[in-house]
Amino acid sequence: MVVYEVSVAVAPDAHNEYLPWLRDRVRQAIALDGFAAALWYRPEATELRKDGRIPLVVHYLVRSRRDLERYLRDHEPKMQAEMEERFGGRVSASGRVLHRMEAFEAG
């Protein structure tokens, strides 16, 4: 399992429009072959950005690196272009890949 983390910074004037748009895009992504789930996070208010933008984070759980590479090649550029066309510079996003090192469980 690979985690693809997308960090987003949303201008306050785009926030209400962007949230449902992002929700739809996350649902589209996890419907793709190789995606297992997605977790959407909102940092606490103490972590708000100094530039006033609202941070959001999505973790996509992807079954393999190969599945992620297919997504990054075939789907992500279209989503980025759509986001840019609709929101312009009011939303920025960056992604990174996280590889699990070890899992710990209580017990």
Average pLDDT, the chain: 92
Per-residue pLDDT, 46: 63
How far, in Å, are 3, 7, 60 from residue 65 at the CA level?
A: 9, 19, 12
Which tens digit of pLDDT belongs to each residue from 60-102?
A: 999 999 999 999 999 999 999 999 999 999 999 999 999 888 8
In our burial notation (b when 16+ CB lie closer than 10 A, e otherwise), range 17-26 reads: ebeeebeebb
**Residue 3 burial by CB count (10 A; 0-12/13-18/19+): exposed, middle or buried?**
middle
Confidence band, pLDDT 50/70/90 cuts, at residue 47: low
HEC string for 3-47: EEEEEEEECHHHHHHHHHHHHHHHHHHHCCCCEEEEEEECCCHHH
**What domains are defined for the chain?**
2-99 (3.30.70.100)
Of the pLDDT bands very low, low, confident and very high (cuts 50, 70, 90), residue 50 is: confident
Above 90 in pLDDT, residue 38?
A: yes
Q: For residues 3-16, give the mean pLDDT.
A: 95
- pLDDT at residue 51, as a whole number: 82
